[in-house]
Amino acid sequence: MQAVILCGGLGTRLRDVAEHLPKPMVPIGDRPILWHIMKGFAEYGIRRFILCLGYQSHIIKRYFLDYHLNRTDFTLHLGMPERVQVHGSGCSEDWQVTLAETGDDAMTGCRLYRIGKYLQGTDFLLTYGDGVADVDLARLIAFHRSHGKIGTVTAVRPPGRFGEIELAGQQVVEFNEKPNVSRGRINGGFFVFRREFLDRLRDDPTLTLEQEPLIRLARDGQLMAYEHNGFWHPMDTSRDYRYLNDLWSQGNAPWATWLKSATPVEDEQVAEDPLLLRREGVAEDRLLLGRLVETGSGGWETTGTAKLAKKPR
């Protein structure tokens, strides 16, 4: 199975820590976050990647073109620049990486449509190039294949960014310092789609995956949610940059499943709250609201009427 990674983001809220870098190239430790995402996929035997490039695509291309040279000794002949002798492999990654130009200004749905010619097989994985998680990909794929629908989205609880207080009148009855959000879930990426999902896309630079395509997929009863209760965190701000780098430097990076056994995902449970089928910060500040209910096979699906609503402030 192939993994498609959306790599066209600008990272405007990260300019203070990584100016002029495309978002997937923002480092965690001495490697870009994109490498961490790919390494996580490879741990589950997924080693064929398609990268949907956009902003500053040449930086990502150069990274992979120089992948071997950056970590090995080599001898070159200045009079014959084509002659380079590499001493040792310096590379343990047996990956096949397709780097596809999908346009500087194209939105996520259009980017996915444009790489369709490189997809092989009946199913593929898709995720964003700016978030890490310890999702059990083997269970995710098995769940997707069990329910027979077109798409599966990994539903996560967003990390708490603010302290939360619960009031009874003017009295504080509970105080939580930056808790996980207790109500609802959001789109955490790590999708699995049947290839026929591409038939719902088109070559339109304004087509946003998280709006029309996923909204219609949910309304048609063809989008299932895999509930992930483990670690998930985006690289959206300088605060996220510091947090993820601190975890890595301390040797406490939950997403680094290649350094330890993968964290088991808890059994799915019945969802009582709306599923927010949309990532924060994507296209017009809106959320797709649907509901999750348990199916007879132990899976999840969205039911009822889906609607667009303004994101709560």
pLDDT in tens, 158-173: 776 544 444 455 444 4
Q: What is the pLDDT of residues 33-54, one digit of tens each?
A: 999 999 999 999 999 999 999 9
pLDDT number for residue 21: 87
The average pLDDT across 260-274 equals: 38
Q: How is residue 52 written in tokens?
A: 């949907």
pTM, full prediction: 0.77
DSSP string, the chain: -EEEEEE----GGGTTTSTT--GGG-EETTEEHHHHHHHHHHHTT--EEEEEE-TTHHHHHHHHHTTTGGGSEEEEETTEEEEEEEES-------EEEEEE--SS--HHHHHHHTGGG--SSEEEEEETTEEE---HHHHHHHHHHH--SEEEEEEPPPP-S-EEEEETTEEEEEESSPPP-S-EEE-S-EEEEGGGGGG--S-TT--TTTHHHHHHHHTT-EEEEE--S-EEE--SHHHHHHHHHHHHTT--TT-GGGSPPPPPPPP----SEEE-S-TTSTTTEEEEEEEEE-TTS-EEEEEEEEEEEPP-
- CATH classification of 2-73+90-310 is 3.90.550.10, yes or no? yes
Segment of 56-70, 164-178, 294-308 carrying the highest mean pLDDT? 56-70
For 283-297, the DSSP string reads TTTEEEEEEEEE-TT
Q: What integer pLDDT is reported at residue 290 of this predicted model?
A: 34
Nearest to 148 by CA among 210, 223, 238: 223
pLDDT of 221 > 80? The answer is yes
Chain segment 92-133, per-residue pLDDT in tens: 788 999 999 999 999 999 999 999 999 999 999 999 999 999
Q: How confident is the model at residue 90 (pLDDT cuts 50, 70, 90)?
A: low
